[in-house]
Amino acid sequence: MATAGRRRREVAASNLVSGRVLLAVGGLAVLLVLALLGRVLVGSQDPAAPAYAAVPDSRLYAEVGGLRGVVDVALAYDDQAAPAAYTGTVTVAPGRRLCRVLDQVYAILRQGHHGAAIHVEVARQHGGDRPGRHLRMEDVDAAVAADPGARYGAQPGTGEPLDDRLCSPTA
């Protein structure tokens, strides 16, 4: 009789252990499914997405407007273009060096939308009857216009040109 009672306890203990093992295996299976689902969802994000938060356009435009000699900023971000791009004109007062301002504008806009092209010109304000002058990056350095990262570094950059070599002393 003692053996029958002991056997029942052993069977009960065995069933308890089996139940715990099944519960643990089931829990692991659920965790595995959740982990795989999470990997699929995370893995489905755009691999080209930036690893930084873009500076808001309004802040970029205000920074451009605060550059020395800038009298007008007419910039926009066009996400319907292919590729999406910053476009527009920055007008500077007579006597300002267009190339230096253009260089600073490019460095500032690189802090914006990931991979955005930049098609901006800097124009000198008309001085009396003297016509204004316009300058685009394509006029200064076509390689920089095609690949701003080579000059300004990886996005988002610092908002400053890496060096002063782009512009001649009179540009």
Q: How many CB atoms lie within 10 A of CB 45?
A: 8
**Residue 109 has what pLDDT?**
96
Angle (CA) 94 98 100, round 5°: 125
Domain ranges, ordered by start, for the chain = 1-45, 57-152
Q: How many CB atoms lie within 10 A of CB 87?
A: 16
What is the rounded distance in angstroms from the CA atom of residue 149 to the CA atom of residue 24?
52
Dihedral in degrees, nearest 10, Cα atoms 164, 154, 89, 124: 0
Q: Is residue 159 within 8 Å of 111, Cβ to Cβ?
A: yes
Instruction: Give 9-18 pLDDT, tens digit per residue.
Output: 555 555 555 6
**Residue 10 has what pLDDT?**
59
pTM above 0.95, yes or no: no
22 pLDDT exceeds 60? no
**Residue 108 has what pLDDT?**
96
Q: Is residue 111 within 8 Å of 60, Cβ to Cβ?
A: yes
What is the rounded distance in angstroms from the CA atom of residue 89 to the CA atom of residue 65?
11
**Residue 112 has what pLDDT?**
94
Strand order in the sheet with 85-92: 70-78, 85-92, 117-124, 134-136
Bridge-partner residues for 127, per DSSP? 130
Q: Which of the four pLDDT bands, split at 50, 70 and 90, describes residue 41?
A: very low
**Residue 15 has what pLDDT?**
56
DSSP count for the chain of H helices, then E strands: 6, 4
Instruction: Give 66-108 pLDDT, tens digit per residue.
Output: 999 999 999 999 999 888 999 999 999 988 889 999 999 999 9
CATH match for 57-152 among 3.90.950.10, 3.30.300.30, 3.40.50.300, 3.30.70.2170: 3.30.300.30
Read off the amino acid at residue 89: T
